[in-house]
Structure 1
């Protein structure tokens, strides 16, 4: 027996929202609408059109399972199995992070730099180091019609997810996925390299929101004692692959933009522009470029 048996669609949504609110979930109303729609296979318009219909027993069971998972701290995106990023529907797996709006700042800055340097329709080679779900790479390829993209990851499971996403959004022909540690499996020169590496300090993992610490893969979060281990590895690798004038753009955690810029300078990369802030005002995307000959 669940709270949803015998309830109308609208009443069940309200019951779920109340349960989520009681659990101090800030997005309770939105989560309830999304999960109710997912349980019934309906969008918002569909939910409105059947608002006074009673749930079937199967629908009640599905919604109760979703409620249990959300109340246990599982993100809505993981319950749905997908997350939209840059307008693209991306599948998730246990080996990938849930793409977050903050990361779109990396895409924005990368496109700004490319636009300042020339025509976005020209052929170019781009790489995404630690690609995970393929979010950044696929977002860029969707904006760069003649670009060829390479996504790397040490996780074969993540690469399978990324390849499935490339196929889903029609970008398979221009996206290649390679199992390696950051840039070690790449060769040739690149016109743009991007990365959202692990950058959470090891000691801070336990204080992350339960949605993150219990559901995102630890390897994609833990950046070592100071959060900068991944940057020390990937920045020199990327610097050796950038074409003259090309840029490396990486995501940064709060307070990390300065140290990351110093690591870029040590690797021979000059600041391409000021770090780009996310909607919360945190410098989120840091860029360095290789001097043109």
Structure 2
């Protein structure tokens, strides 16, 4: 079987499974198996695959047919301009979250805190882009923290990034962390009633505790807001990723704890994506 024949067999299967872009995904999976970039795939399509490559591609297609995310199958996702390890213990970094990074980098910060860090993509990208800042990534999942530590090592920023177990559902979770110029978070904001409407790649494969609070989607914001007076330095900024209907509710929560200059920022599709505010 050649690479081209393998692709021709895989694409109809993925299409029938409801995969949104079966051609793209089949190409990514075959390139992953061949250990080349997708830009070089056309060069190798006429070549005969080894038995091991055929078997590996079949396993990858089976997984995608079951709607496992491509990033979990390949173990890698590009975010901003950096490659991040991804597992079933972390959210898949999404382009929408780059809205938060753009705003984070719009002003100087020396010390930042990333709550619910997951892969560490927000924290590590911000540190890499500044070249001087330091930060802490917190998560309640030890498995996610291990992925973030691996990403820090792979991106050679481990000397400026620290990862700790932090759970905003626990009393006193913000105590002892010190003050930060920047606090960021992409917390679980999907309401429990909305979970069934998610794509299978998200609903069935990503960690549920990173997606939803099992309630109205605002639980994490309430807890984070309560900790911010302890965490933010004078003039320090907070940036929180939100669902498209949550902007005003989250801005109100930040105002109640004394933060000022709240703004709701849109993503590239024009949907509300980030709430920004600062300490007086």
TM-score (structure 1 length as normaliser) = 0.90
In 1, are the aligned partners of 2:174 and 2:231 still within 8 Å (CA)?
no
1:56-95 correspondence to structure 2 within 5 Å: 56-95=50-89
SS in 2 for 1:284: strand
Per the TM alignment, residue 185 of structure 1 is displaced from its structure 2 partner at its CA by 5.4
What's 1:101 paired with?
95
Q: Does 1:289 align with 2:278?
A: yes
User: Take 1:163 and 1:97, find their aligned partners in 2: how far apart are those partners?
Assistant: 15
- The count of corresponding residues between Structure 1 and Structure 2 is 276
Q: Does 1:219 align with 2:209?
A: yes
SS in 2 for 1:233: helix
Per the TM alignment, residue 186 of structure 1 is displaced from its structure 2 partner at its CA by 4.5
What's 1:117 paired with?
none
Instruction: Identify unmatched segments of 5+ residues in structure 1.
Output: 1-6, 115-119
SS in 1 for 2:105: helix
1:156-195 correspondence to structure 2 within 5 Å: 156-182=142-168, 184=174, 186-195=176-185
User: Take 2:16 and 2:201, find their aligned partners in 1: how far apart are those partners?
Assistant: 17
User: Take 1:24 and 1:73, find their aligned partners in 2: how far apart are those partners?
Assistant: 8
User: Take 1:188 and 1:135, find their aligned partners in 2: how far apart are those partners?
Assistant: 22
In 2, are the aligned partners of 1:148 and 1:174 still within 8 Å (CA)?
yes
User: Take 1:12 and 1:197, find their aligned partners in 2: how far apart are those partners?
Assistant: 40
1:96-175 correspondence to structure 2 within 5 Å: 96-112=90-106, 114=107, 120=108, 124-175=110-161
In 2, are the aligned partners of 1:130 and 1:154 still within 8 Å (CA)?
yes
Per the TM alignment, residue 61 of structure 1 is displaced from its structure 2 partner at its CA by 0.9
SS in 2 for 1:240: helix
Per the TM alignment, residue 51 of structure 1 is displaced from its structure 2 partner at its CA by 1.9
What's 2:237 paired with?
247
Per the TM alignment, residue 18 of structure 1 is displaced from its structure 2 partner at its CA by 2.4
Per the TM alignment, residue 24 of structure 1 is displaced from its structure 2 partner at its CA by 2.8
Instruction: Identify unmatched segments of 5+ residues in structure 2.
Output: none
TM-score (structure 2 length as normaliser) = 0.94
User: Take 2:39 and 2:216, find their aligned partners in 1: how far apart are those partners?
Assistant: 47
Per the TM alignment, residue 45 of structure 1 is displaced from its structure 2 partner at its CA by 4.2
User: Take 1:190 and 1:166, find their aligned partners in 2: how far apart are those partners?
Assistant: 20
User: Take 2:42 and 2:35, find their aligned partners in 1: how far apart are those partners?
Assistant: 13
User: Take 1:8 and 1:210, find their aligned partners in 2: how far apart are those partners?
Assistant: 31
Q: Does 1:31 align with 2:43?
A: no
In 1, are the aligned partners of 2:17 and 2:66 still within 8 Å (CA)?
no
Per the TM alignment, residue 94 of structure 1 is displaced from its structure 2 partner at its CA by 2.3
SS in 1 for 2:227: helix
User: Take 1:186 and 1:138, find their aligned partners in 2: how far apart are those partners?
Assistant: 22
Which of residues 38, 47, 58 in structure 1 aligns to 2:41? 47
Deviations 1:204-262 (A, max 9, x none): 21221100011111110112421000000011202321111111000000200000000
Q: Does 1:232 align with 2:218?
A: no
